[in-house]
Amino acid sequence: MGRQHIKQLLTGLILLFLYAQSYAQKDSLFIRKIYDEALLRGKAYEDLRSLCKDIGPRLSGSSEAAMSIRWSEQKMRSYGFDKVYLEPIMVPHWERGNPETAWITLPNGSIEKLTLCALGGSISTNGAMEGELVLFNHLDDLKKASRRAVEGKIVFINQVMNAAEIQTFKAYGACYPIRGNGAIEGGRLGAKAVIIRSLGLPSDDFPHTGSMKYEDSIPRIPAAALSTRDSDYLASLLEGKISIKLTFEMDCRNFPDEPSFNVIGELKGSKYPNEIITIGGHLDSWDQGEGAHDDGAGVIHCLEALRILKTLGYKPEHTLRVVFFMNEENGNMGGKSYAKWVKEKNETHIAALESDRGGFTPRGFGCDGNDSVYRKFTALEPLFKPYDLHIWEKGGGGVDIGPLKSEFKDITLFGFIPDSQRYFDFHHADSDVFESVNKRELELGAASISAFLYLLDSKVF
């Protein structure tokens, strides 16, 4: 190689280096603009306030859910997205009815009131229901129990979420079966009803609702969650082997499925308009609290992420779409329908991201992509160093976007990961209200997702 060639090569390398540098700097500067917009001129907090206070909880099939669909459509239009539309779906319709009441009767005849709530989908008690309580400390103990020990009684499963587990979603996952399957296991052995310890970490007086299942071949029995504080108390009584009667009343009802909608807004891609990147959360919530962290924060994160890109005049290469999914909590009809619908429309979906872990300080993202995508994903980490995002892990997605994976085998799913320590203080409980969300933490989440979306669009895909 002659001197001339070496010189050319060196010049080329220097130019490449400078180009790469200016490229990275361009990204850094744009990400800084995104965070500035979120933190200085952000709409996330006031939008969440409106969703929580002007509407409130939004259980599928409720009139508040219908209100929230109109609210979302209007909000997306007001932000000037290129296209805003609804996708019709059918959703279950369950109602809690009158507030639940419950008390125990001790052997000496004295009574004490308890705080419980129906699990979502439970049948009613048909007036007051009374029965002797039988305690199990784990779902497995109930499964192993004899019919004689359970039949005609009210089963109380006091399986405690493991507070020593640092990743609170793991502690939740380990206890989830008592909520999902408690009524099936109790019903199989002839129990009258099942009461579970609330799936919450703190000791307090808020029962946590959530979905539960029945099986066709097994008698359906009422299912409720007792507050953690009352659960500790009741378990301590029952461990003393005294006989305790529970009387409780739940008024819940199932109605026929109702028409509802996913709400969709998008910015059209300038280069690859037919390749779609979806971000979303779920618009529905349980009927307790205001669905502030679960998942008001998630839909507002994604709305704000797209609003920021639009406001900053960003012209996406791919079509960027925000979806407010309906019915994640009790059926996932929004997520399932969306995946089928876009497949039928012959759309090309290359990536999707979900935010459904609350509005807390961002810690990072998860990615379920192949090695090549995962390498590009982890290469983004330095750009987020100034924002303290440090989790760049394998795995990701969410309940709403999960079904896309079956329809598009090459799609990459991403999950937004905020700090999880406070999530199970509020999840599915009356405490999940707007006031439990911190403004800066919410805004930082929206900014992180907006910046990440920008990079997915401009760098990763």
Q: Which of residues 207-236 bind a second copy (CB under 8 A)?
A: none
Q: How many CA atoms lie within 13 A of 233 on its CB side?
A: 15
Give the residue, chosen from 441, 450, 456, 460, that forms a contact with a second copy under the rule CB under 8 A. 441
Q: Which is nearer to a second copy, 315 or 440 (CB)?
A: 440
Give the residue, chosen from 25, 243, 370, 421, that forms a contact with a second copy under the rule CB under 8 A. 421
- Total residue length of the chain: 461
The dihedral through the CA atoms of 381, 427, 173, 284 has a sign that is negative
Is 387 an interacting residue with respect to a second copy (CB under 8 A)? yes
How many of the chain's residues bind a second copy (CB under 8 A)? 26
Tell me whether the omega of the peptide bond preceding residue 284 falls within 30 degrees of 0, making it cis: no
Nearest alpha-carbon partner for 303 in 38, 56, 96: 38
* Residue 87 DSSP SS3: strand
Is 40 an interacting residue with respect to a second copy (CB under 8 A)? yes
Give the residue, chosen from 30, 39, 67, 268, that forms a contact with a second copy under the rule CB under 8 A. 39
Nearest alpha-carbon partner for 447 in 76, 45, 77, 51: 45
Give the residue, chosen from 117, 139, 201, 303, that forms a contact with a second copy under the rule CB under 8 A. 201
Is 29 an interacting residue with respect to a second copy (CB under 8 A)? no
Is 391 an interacting residue with respect to a second copy (CB under 8 A)? yes
Q: Which is nearer to a second copy, 101 or 311 (CB)?
A: 311
Is 47 an interacting residue with respect to a second copy (CB under 8 A)? no
Please name the residue that has the structure tokens 């180009």.
Answer: 19
Q: Which is nearer to a second copy, 261 or 416 (CB)?
A: 416
Give the residue, chosen from 12, 99, 152, 386, that forms a contact with a second copy under the rule CB under 8 A. 386
In Å, what is the CA distance from 425 to each residue of 358, 445, 453?
11, 19, 29
Is 35 an interacting residue with respect to a second copy (CB under 8 A)? yes
Tell me whether the omega of the peptide bond preceding residue 257 falls within 30 degrees of 0, making it cis: no
Is 444 an interacting residue with respect to a second copy (CB under 8 A)? yes
Helical segments of 297-426, H only: 297-311, 333-344, 371-378, 381-384, 404-407, 423-426
Task: List interacting residues with a second copy (CB under 8 A).
Answer: 35-36, 39-40, 163-164, 166, 168, 201-202, 361, 363, 386-388, 390-391, 419, 421-422, 425, 438-441, 444
